[in-house]
Amino acid sequence: MLGTSQRSSERSFSFEGRTYPYTLVISKRKTTALSVSHKGVRVHTNRKAKLKDIQTFVESKASFILKHLKRIEQDQQKPETRAYSFQDGETFWYSGKPYTLCLKKGTPKKIVLQKEDLVVTALNFDPKIIRPLVLAWYFAEADRIFRERLVLCLKTFKKYSSVQPTLVIKLFKGKWGHMTKKRVMALNVRLILGEPKHWDSVIYHELAHIKHFNHSPAFHDFLEKLYPNHRKLQKETHQFLKNCGNPFIME
Ligand SMILES: [Zn+2]
């Protein structure tokens, strides 16, 4: 055979009165197989297979296909795994408020908040250039603001302990904060997307670990004294940040 050994065509199948597209890929393979991914439904077969048989095969798999398509759709809607594209007009969260990314041609590179816009000045609008700028800005803002916030929280905490933790800003995948035995408090940079009460809920949680290095009932009782309603606020924090999506993951 000359040229490419693989051919594909767009086809469709019907199920319960609705029509769904699929891509038919003909290659040198011996058997007929089907795959469902975020790219859609693909049926792989060989030149000898009859179209009528392929169609029957696909239709016999209809409920399997729809189940998988639905799951893929749900996964894509999971907000915490929703990546950002770093393109003009996209919404970015900061301190619990939405800002519109506004790309402006110019030098030097800079980022400022102007009313409801996050204005980024750069010569090149390639997301590969814009992304690190925005993420570095988030890190710098988190460092500045959480330092101030920690000072405020320590005013309440000093009734119970004189320990003053060292603060570091990190990007964690599965947690909002962390306290080490050496009293280093790490806060997830993603918290900067949330409101001040969300920052406090994590800061107080980590401060409470200075007194109780576990999640025992005593820890929760102490945290409740330090930050009343902490359980409700912890849930709220998690939900809010989930809904903001995650600019720190790559598409
Ligand atoms: Zn904890």
The label of the residue with tokens 């993951």 reads 249
Give residue 139 CA to ligand 1 midpoint distance, Å. Answer: 22
Full residue range of the structural domain in which residue 187 is found: 91-243
Give residue 83 CA to ligand 1 midpoint distance, Å. Answer: 27
Low-confidence ranges of the chain (pLDDT < 70): 1-5, 74-81, 251
Give residue 217 CA to ligand 1 midpoint distance, Å. Answer: 12
Q: Which of 120, 75, 77, 118 is nearest to 100 (CA)?
A: 118
Domain count, the chain: 2
Q: What is the pLDDT, as a whole number, of residue 140?
A: 98
Give residue 205 CA to ligand 1 midpoint distance, Å. Answer: 6
Q: Give, for 8, the enclosing helix (H) or strand (E).
A: strand 7-15
- Residue 251 in any domain: the answer is no
Q: Could you tell me if 115 and 41 lie in one domain?
A: no
How far is residue 16 CA from its own chain's centroid? 35
Give residue 250 CA to ligand 1 midpoint distance, Å. Answer: 27
Give residue 82 CA to ligand 1 midpoint distance, Å. Answer: 26
DSSP 165: P
Q: Could you tell me if 64 and 184 lie in one domain?
A: no
Give residue 122 CA to ligand 1 midpoint distance, Å. Answer: 40
User: Quick check: pTM over 0.75?
Assistant: no
Give residue 77 CA to ligand 1 midpoint distance, Å. Answer: 28
Mark which of 43, 77, 111 sits at the end of a domain.
77
User: How does pLDDT run across 161-179, given as a tens digit for each residue?
Assistant: 999 999 999 999 889 999 9
Q: Are the beta carbons of 177 and 186 closer than 8 angstroms?
A: yes
C-alpha angle 11-14-16 in degrees, rounded to nearest 5: 165
Q: What is the pLDDT, as a whole number, of residue 251?
A: 57
E-strand spans in the chain? 7-15, 18-27, 33-37, 40-46, 91-94, 97-105, 110-114, 117-122, 166-170, 177-179, 184-188
Token reading at 189: 């940079």
Q: Could you tell me if 70 and 16 lie in one domain?
A: yes
Q: Could you tell me if 220 and 179 lie in one domain?
A: yes
Strands 18-27 and 40-46, by their bridges, are parallel
Give residue 132 CA to ligand 1 midpoint distance, Å. Answer: 30
Q: Could you tell me if 208 and 129 lie in one domain?
A: yes
Q: Could you tell me if 142 and 190 lie in one domain?
A: yes
Give residue 180 CA to ligand 1 midpoint distance, Å. Answer: 10
d(CA 91, CA 99): 5
Q: What is the dihedral of CA 158, 160, 161, 162, to 10 degrees?
A: 30
User: How does pLDDT run across 198-227, given as a tens digit for each residue?
Assistant: 999 999 999 999 999 999 999 999 999 999
Give residue 175 CA to ligand 1 midpoint distance, Å. Answer: 9
Q: What is the pLDDT, as a whole number, of residue 4?
A: 54
- Label residue 49 exposed, middle or buried (CB < 10 Å: 0-12, 13-18, 19+): middle
Q: Is the peptide bond before 108 cis (omega within 30 degrees of 0)?
A: yes
Mark which of 77, 106, 125 sits at the end of a domain.
77
DSSP 15: E
Question: How would you classify residue 89: left for phi > 0, otherwise alpha for psi between -120 and 50, otherwise beta?
Answer: left
Q: What is the pLDDT, as a whole number, of residue 220?
A: 95
Give residue 204 CA to ligand 1 midpoint distance, Å. Answer: 10
